[in-house]
Structure 1
Amino acid sequence: MSTELKRKLSDHDDDKQCRRRKNGGENNLEEKISRLVNEVQAQDFLGNLVVILHDENENPYVTLQNALSYINITLKVVKNDENPELFELQINEKAFACGSFQNMQLAKRPLAEEALEKLKETCFFISKKSDYVNVTKENLSTSSAKTVVKPSVNSNSIALKIMTKMGWTGGGLGAQEQGNLDSVMLYENVNRHGLGNRNLMTEITKKLDEFCRSSNLLTLVFDSDFTKEERVLIHKVARKFNLKSKSSGTSSRKITVSHKITRMDIVKELLKIGGEDGLYKLHIPTKFMHLWDL
């Protein structure tokens, strides 16, 4: 056998071993993630609870209430019948924190803080670093189509990981890979002269189409300068692209549009990339940390 042939065969064997090690590593990681998540979920009624921390200034009671409502679990603070100054925070009728306070309003925040600290032992927590891109009429329509903000595609993006898992191998989406390769883009230097509602909704549709195809999990916020009729159409277009939309505010109504993805999906994808990406940072329950450190 010639030296050249031996070298090629050796290189081929090395490649096969590298692929085996890589596949083995991926399988081991998947098993590790599955074992951790299954153990957490196998707990009591809070096994599927994932708490998202938006910022340090958010009211802890609101944070806890939002997390529990996501999995249809009740939260309330009740007064002790025998001691009017003793209050108890209950999750699904189970006591999680208690203390003496002057009234119920003063009791909610510290009791929620105590409950959240306890839940860190058994539940996943996600800290959000950034969560929206603002959208106004002025930056939708494009006379010159000048891009002013173009977030780069993070290779660790959760949405990108999900798309890859579903079979996407890169390039634009669509049969001819005609989809936009960029993340959601904002446009300014807008000239709305001569544009009617039809043109505006065309730009809104285009914006949501790009967002649907994009590889980030940012939330689009449509500003309050859109009319009631335009907001109705925004919701309609969002549903068309299987996006989640929600109105908020009273006199100044805004619409938030985001991808449909469960909190536990985010947890699993963050675990695959080491617990953190450009948008989120994961806290693993301390009670189950040993399963992750194996």
Structure 2
Amino acid sequence: MASSSKKIKNNEEFPTDWDIDYYRADHESDEHWQMRRHFMELHKDKFPEDRLVCLAAVFTNMEFMGCRYPSETMQLVAELSKEVVKDYRKSRETRLKRTFVAASEAAEARVKARLGGHSGHQQNLNRNNSDNSKLSGMHKSNNLFEGLPFGKYVLFLIGGRNCLRMSAQRCNIEYEEKEVEGPNNTKKITVFLNGKLVSDACEENLKAAKAQVFNNALDVLQNKCYSIKPNPLRDTIKINKSNNEIVCGVVKQQADNAEDKKLDASNKGYKMMKLMGWTGGGLGSKTQGREEPVGYLLKNNRAGLGNESCKLDRKYFRQILQNYLESEDIRELQFEPSFTKEERAMLHEIAGKFNLKSTSHGKDAERRLVISKKTITNEQILSEILLKKNPSYIDKYFVQVPEAKARFYPEHTEKLDLYM
């Protein structure tokens, strides 16, 4: 009842007057939504709103897609969902019986039609097929950009003040800044995306106007569009050379980031994973996380690369980068300073031919080469993180959703900062 909008559970009280229907996703089928809704209705007084919404998402991911989470989370969700699952399976059994009867009647109608039955049987058949399609619970379109004012523009938070223009180029969207004289001898700058006004600013001089319009546009776009930011502490495959052999390992840092920052409660990914039930350690059912072997890089048919018979020549390096290109691995390859200047130049050249991105960091004896894939699109990043909950992408990127999508993805609403 509305008069009892708060209840007490374990000496804690949580608001219960929030709107569950606010969290229905555009792409969600009726069947999935009814289960998720039932789950939240049953436990509305037991958890804070954001925690319950995340647990409900975990529940449907487990039930319909077979996703796995830390054992404590799975046990908690299994206990909370007993009644929901029981009701769902009972209704499903009834529905299957109805579908079977409808299919039997349709088969009987076809037989009668062949024997010269009335046309009314065909109408019954069409009606049965229509009913069955309604029962199938098909998903709606997974259009993440539906209803957003700037379409598929995604703010990619790198490059300082150039990020607005660079993001537009990445999305193949026209970016334009117009300079005009403002009132009282001020300078006015206006920013447009595909001819649509984003923001403007008037200041005493051009430099101040550009700085202000950037801040205004950044604020508008982070509210109206998706934002993506690479995780500076993402997994990187570190490749060393020792005694004519290649050694691979995984490090939790970026080649151009010398700081060894701790993954703590101030980290965006840390907060998001805690909401989903993570309690520390590696991800996965056995907390194996991202420590899977990277030996696939060193495979050459049946023979392993890096053995005594292998020569560190162009063919050798080409095979490593080809293995990387053909894999689903999205982590960067970080070639350490143990590689010579000539070897790094060779790797850079081969990477270009494979359409891989290569950049160098550090000076002199600390120079290292980082190679990564160019083909990861904004749409792919958003789909893998928001819809598929892919740990590989969650490790590599932070995502902030626009205000219009916040109710669908509450664990991705925290604002991302742009570091200049």
Query: Shorter-chain TM-score category?
Result: 0.5 to 0.7
1:90 and 2:90 correspond = no
Can you give the 5+ residue segments of structure 1 that lack an aligned partner in the other structure?
1-17, 157-180, 188-194
1:208 and 2:309 correspond = no
Asked whether the 8 Å contact 1:153–1:182 carries over to 2, the reply is: no
Q: 5 Å matches for 1:114-263?
A: 114-130=216-232, 133=236, 139-140=240-241, 143-149=244-250, 182-183=293-294, 199-220=312-333, 225-226=341-342, 231-236=348-353, 238-239=354-355, 244-245=356-357, 256-263=371-378
Amino acid at match of 1:207: I
Correspondent of 1:64 among 159, 164, 168: 164
- Change over 3 Å in CA distance of 1:71–1:148 after alignment to 2: closer
Amino acid at match of 1:257: S
Corresponding residue number in structure 2 for 1:269? 384
Corresponding residue number in structure 1 for 2:100? none
Rounded Cα–Cα distance in structure 1 between residues aligned with 2:180 and 2:206: 11
Corresponding residue number in structure 1 for 2:151? 47
Correspondent of 2:64 among 23, 39, 49: 23
Q: TM-score, normalised by structure 1?
A: 0.57
Asked whether the 8 Å contact 1:184–1:214 carries over to 2, the reply is: no
Measure how far apart 1:232 and its partner are: 2.9
Corresponding residue number in structure 2 for 1:168? none
Q: CA RMSD in A?
A: 4.7
Correspondent of 2:404 among 279, 282, 287: 287
1:75 and 2:181 correspond = no
Deviations along 1:246-266, whole A, 9 cap, x unmatched? 5689x9997743152211111
- Change over 3 Å in CA distance of 1:205–1:145 after alignment to 2: same
- Change over 3 Å in CA distance of 1:261–1:271 after alignment to 2: same
Deviations along 1:211-267, whole A, 9 cap, x unmatched? 23544322346689347666333322x24xxxx335689x99977431522111110
Amino acid at match of 2:386: L
Can you give the 5+ residue segments of structure 2 that lack an aligned partner in the other structure?
1-58, 68-137, 253-280, 286-291, 299-308, 411-420
Corresponding residue number in structure 2 for 1:109? 211
Amino acid at match of 1:245: K
- Change over 3 Å in CA distance of 1:284–1:82 after alignment to 2: closer
Corresponding residue number in structure 2 for 1:170? none
Rounded Cα–Cα distance in structure 1 between residues aligned with 2:243 and 2:319: 11
Amino acid at match of 1:76: E
Q: TM-score, normalised by structure 2?
A: 0.42
Rounded Cα–Cα distance in structure 2 between residues aligned with 1:145 and 1:82: 62
3-state SS in 1 of match to 2:165: helix
Corresponding residue number in structure 2 for 1:159? none
Rounded Cα–Cα distance in structure 1 between residues aligned with 2:64 and 2:235: 36
Asked whether the 8 Å contact 1:124–1:282 carries over to 2, the reply is: yes
Rounded Cα–Cα distance in structure 1 between residues aligned with 2:237 and 2:409: 37
Measure how far apart 1:271 and its partner are: 0.8
